[in-house]
Structure 1
Amino acid sequence: MKDDAPLVYTTDGGRITPAKEIVARPKGDGIVRLSRQTSGRKGKGVCVITGLDLEDVALQQLAAELKKKCGCGGTVIEGSIEIQGDKRDFLKSYLEGKGYRVKLAGG
């Protein structure tokens, strides 16, 4: 076969995507930070919990527990937990009761 012949068909690409790389989250300093954010949410506020050094499964379980205790929705995004509404005071006391060092961050 000629080296300068154009490629007509290949099976190298296609709909099959390669496996996602597991990105290691940076280790925190042992302090859990609670902040309130409204940007990009049409004025609706959420409490963002960052700095938890937990695996993904444990993070999902903690998020489910917090959502149940607060009686509201939430999600886990990129190693942080988002809880709908402004429930920072309750979350701070609850996480401190579980043994975490908690700081209120931001506005």
Structure 2
Amino acid sequence: MSRAKYDKGGMVFSTNSDLMEQLQSAPRVETLPPEKQPLVVRRDSKGRKGKVVTLVEGFVGSDEEFQALAKRLKVACGVGGSAKEGEIIIQGEVMERALQLLQQWGYNKCKKR
């Protein structure tokens, strides 16, 4: 299997000599512990052709931990979904189940809206 000429195997080239310094000094988002996370769980169907989804909003922390929580919720609920722009979208009306799971995992500040 041959690679295209323009494919550099994931390498990114830059002429900016300060790039590594800027990347390393970028502020890291500190993730709050589960008991201090102000999560809001709600049902939504706007702009989704009438299909109902469950939204989880308000996570404060790194994107890696945000994605991990989203995956954990989706697997535990047995449904699909996505996590982007600060909200976890879980397919279907699983608001009660998601709220229950989050509270079991220590997210005690969860609110239903």
TM-score (norm 2): 0.65
Gaps of 5+ in 2: 1-25, 30-35
Determine which of 52, 59, 64 is the counterpart of 1:57.
Answer: 64
The one-character-per-residue Cα deviations of 1:51-95 (angstroms, maximum 9, x if unpaired) are 111211111111111111111111012011010001011111110
Measure, in 1, the Cα distance between the counterparts of 2:99 and 2:55.
Answer: 12
Number of equivalent positions: 80
Gaps of 5+ in 1: 1-21
Higher helix share: 2
Question: What's the counterpart of residue 37 of structure 1?
Answer: 44
Alignment RMSD: 2.1
Which of the pair has more CA radius of gyration?
Answer: 1
Measure, in 2, the Cα distance between the counterparts of 1:98 and 1:70.
Answer: 14
- Aligned-pair identity in percent equals 35
Deviation at 1:102, TM superposition (A): 0.8
TM-score (norm 1): 0.68
SS of equivalent residue, structure 1 residue 34: strand
Higher strand share: 1
The answer to whether residue 112 in structure 2 is matched with residue 104 in structure 1 is yes
